[in-house]
Amino acid sequence: MAKNDLIGGALWEKYSDKVSKRMNNPKYMGEISEEEASAKGAKLVVADFGADSCGDAVRLYWMVDPATDKILDAKYKSFGCGTAIASSDVTAELCIGKTVDEAVKITNLDVEFALRDTPDTPAVPPQKMHCSVMAYDVIKKAASIYKNVDMSVFEDEEIVCECARVSLSTIKEVIKLNDLKTVEEITQYTKAGAFCKSCIKPGGHEERKFYLEDILRDTRAEMERERLNSGPDDKAFGELTLIQKHKKVEQVIEESILPILNADGGSVEVVDMKEVDDYTDVYIRYKGACAGCASSRTGTYEVISDTLRKKADASIRVHIL
């Protein structure tokens, strides 16, 4: 089924090709049985989370190695729209290979970013951004079940909107990534402020620590200071924001790596980036001829790693998804 058949009208233009592909051909939809987990000496975790705001729900399955806490496999069932299916599919994929502690650091922004065709173009229209928010909670629910603790243990984020479960860091990152200028745009992208509205400004039925109006004002001011101070080319890699680092890595890949891979019908994309201790972890996915090439984890991998370390920064570690 074509993307325009799924969505219809001009709206389909606002969805990335990755979202369309995940809607039509999800990779990780399904179940993991107790028998399958036991056969690999793993523990089965089944976590449910539903979004009251839209009626969508997701059930996440993890197969976890109890000796290492590593997630060996992940699948899901999604009860919702096509965007929820696409988001859930990427959520499951991002979990595989990570430890439980690493997985709880995955946010809805990571999920949405992984669905983008290009780093600067949102994967979905703003009114569907909330579909990725479920990932933020269902992963923590799964981790809490595995560790037999309350979900609040993993809440190291300040929640601004309790109705939509949107954190302060998520709102700030969405403002920066999409150059948002109004509270209405924040609500469109995240659903924060769409329901009880207490988080928009003081005077609602419930007092909040942070309000969207203040966050927007302060974040826009921070963006302006960053713009005036210097651009990415004027700073050391370690002084850049994660967004600026991502752009630097993309620039190196486009200028120095893609021409080599494209010559043989291959390509590579950056799926995610994380700052871990003193390192910048870059997660890549091969495309085209590179996807099935025997050297993708040897010679090609070394070329990509060496190029990024030399032309971007020595702190970069490359991981293949």
Tell how strand 316-320 and strand 70-79 pair up: unpaired
In this structure, the chain runs to a length of 321
How far is Cα 171 from Cα 165, in angstroms, rounded to an integer?
Answer: 11
DSSP 105-162: T--HHHHHHHT-SSTTS-SS-GGGGGGGHHHHHHHHHHHHHHHTS-GGGG--SPEEET
Q: Would you please indicate which residues are annotated as catalytic (active-site) residues?
A: 54, 131
CB 105 within 8 A of CB 274: yes
What is residue 145's predicted lDDT score, i.e. its pLDDT?
96
Q: Which residues pair with 60 in a beta bridge?
A: 47, 76
For residue 181, report the phi and psi dihedrals to the nearest 5 degrees: -125, -10
Q: What is the pLDDT of residues 266-307, one digit of tens each?
A: 899 998 899 988 899 999 999 988 888 888 888 889 999 999
What is residue 1's predicted lDDT score, i.e. its pLDDT?
43
Question: What is the torsional sign of CA 11, 24, 96, 148?
Answer: positive
- Residue whose pair of structure tokens reads 């993993």 in the numeric block: 154
* Segments in the chain below pLDDT 50: 1-9
What is residue 4's predicted lDDT score, i.e. its pLDDT?
45
CA-based nearest residue to 273, from 253, 257, 299, 302:
253
Domains of the chain (ranges; CATH) run 3-155 (3.90.1010.10), 157-229 (1.10.10.1100), 237-320 (3.30.300.130)
What is residue 230's predicted lDDT score, i.e. its pLDDT?
53
- Residue 219 Cα to chain centre, angstroms: 21
Q: What is the pLDDT of residues 15-66, one digit of tens each?
A: 899 999 999 999 999 999 999 999 999 999 999 987 655 667 899 999 999 9
Environment class of 152 (CB within 10 Å of its CB; exposed 0-12, middle 13-18, buried 19+): exposed
Give residues with Cβ within 8 angstroms of 118, minimum separation 6.
Answer: none
What is residue 216's predicted lDDT score, i.e. its pLDDT?
97
Q: What is the pTM of this model?
A: 0.56
Please state the three-class secondary structure of 278-296 as a single string.
Answer: CEEEEEEEEEEHHHHCHHH
Beta strands in 147-301 (DSSP E): 159-161, 166-167, 266-276, 279-288
The DSSP code for 253 is I
How much of the chain is helix, strand and coil, in % rounded to 5? Answer: 50, 20, 30
